[in-house]
Amino acid sequence: MKSDIILLGHGSGGKLSHQLLDDIIIPALSGLAQSEQNDAAILPTPNGRIAFTTDSYVVDPIFFPGGCIGDLAINGTVNDLAMAGAKPVAISVGLILEEGLPVDDLQEILKAMRIAADQAGVAIVTGDTKVVPRGKADKIFINTSGVGVIEHDLTICGSNARVGDQVLINGTVGDHGMAVLASREGLELESDIHSDCAELYSLVEVMLAVGGESIHVLRDPTRGGVATTLKEIALQSEVDLELVETKIPVREDVGSACAILGLDPLFVANEGKLLAIVAEDAADKVLTAMRQHPTGKDAAVIGTVMSTGKGHLTLKTAIGGKRSVEMLAGEQLPRIC
């Protein structure tokens, strides 16, 4: 790693994050190969597979249009389990509170957590609370870890994309990131941009019922956005992917806000979105099923796995050109989740 101190960009989910992970953290802790890195770990037990995942949430501000750090923390971990094709069962909650946090704020956050957990059908079963002095944290940080059960024999992971597969998304991109950014900066965007934060397991359940073994990869494009997530999948699966810009759903107000701020919606974080890499012959029926689900009504096919390769991601642009897409470099939007 080039820097000898931690930079904000190391938390962006992009290139610097991957360097920190690949050069420092993973070699030290687990030695897991990149091809095996997924949103959740799969633990084989004598009697079946369970999925296990963790995420810490440090979003700023803690309340934003469409949600707060509480439902974000529950849905994020529920979704990491869902992306392994696992049914979320139990969640832990680790709170780090800054001295001086209003108890009313804490209660509102906890309430949002409970509602989100109930909606996802998952129980909050264990927890921990720490308090640090004023100025040693920023209001509240939340860690949620989750355990899920895998009730099928499918292999759904980032290294499973195959030539010909279609790339599906369940709706518009960039909503969460722009909602948080607008809220943080006090931008008056004269619009109704709000976070897309939502649980995705119920959608995955429908997709698995219809698509079965045709569902090769599931991943939620959070930090780093759709572009970074697809680049990761392309590298893990050793394939080249092509995205079609005109097919990617973007809300008009989100697109405009991105244009004003010089951001590319492909790199902006999402929270209630998933990317699915699906066998070509099943893509239509999976898409149809997704569109009948509330969190999939704007689902679209946005790209194709073109060939085996070295993980190139290409964007076919609206004006007909093609450009290579790399991972988010540096920090675009820190503390988005």
Whichever of 113 and 189 has its CB closer to its own copies, that residue is 113
Closest approach, Cβ 256 to its own copies, in A, equals: 28
Closest approach, Cβ 115 to its own copies, in A, equals: 10
Is the torsion defined by CA of 81, 82, 87, 92 positive or negative? positive
Please enumerate in sequence order all residues whose Cβ is within 8 A of that of 103, keeping only pairs 6 or more positions apart, or say none. Answer: none
Q: Bridge-partner residues for 88, per DSSP?
A: 148
Q: Of 242, 185, 269, whose CA–CA distance to 17 is shortest?
A: 269
Whichever of 109 and 300 has its CB closer to its own copies, that residue is 109
Look up residue 296 and give its two tokens.
């999939």
Amino acid in the structure at residue 127: G
Whichever of 25 and 209 has its CB closer to its own copies, that residue is 25
Look up residue 279 and give its two tokens.
């066998």
Helix (H) or strand (E) holding 289: helix 280-291
Closest approach, Cβ 75 to its own copies, in A, equals: 15
Please enumerate in sequence order all residues whose Cβ is within 8 A of that of 300, keeping only pairs 6 or more positions apart, or say none. Answer: 168, 169, 247, 248, 249, 287
69-82 and 103-120 helices, crossing angle to 10°? 30
Whichever of 97 and 197 has its CB closer to its own copies, that residue is 97
Alpha carbons 293 and 312: distance in angstroms, whole number: 32
| Rg of the chain on CA atoms, in Å | 19
3-state SS, residue 271:
coil
Whichever of 6 and 318 has its CB closer to its own copies, that residue is 6
Closest approach, Cβ 331 to its own copies, in A, equals: 8
Whichever of 1 and 209 has its CB closer to its own copies, that residue is 1
Alpha carbons 41 and 201: distance in angstroms, whole number: 17
Q: Of 92, 96, 231, 104, whose CA–CA distance to 161 is shortest?
A: 231
Whichever of 121 and 127 has its CB closer to its own copies, that residue is 127
Closest approach, Cβ 71 to its own copies, in A, equals: 13
Closest approach, Cβ 245 to its own copies, in A, equals: 30
Whichever of 26 and 154 has its CB closer to its own copies, that residue is 26
From the number of C-beta atoms within 10 Å of its C-beta (0-12, 13-18, 19+), residue 71 rates as buried
Whichever of 91 and 290 has its CB closer to its own copies, that residue is 91
Closest approach, Cβ 138 to its own copies, in A, equals: 4
Closest approach, Cβ 23 to its own copies, in A, equals: 9
Closest approach, Cβ 274 to its own copies, in A, equals: 18
Q: Of 167, 12, 150, whose CA–CA distance to 88 is shortest?
A: 150
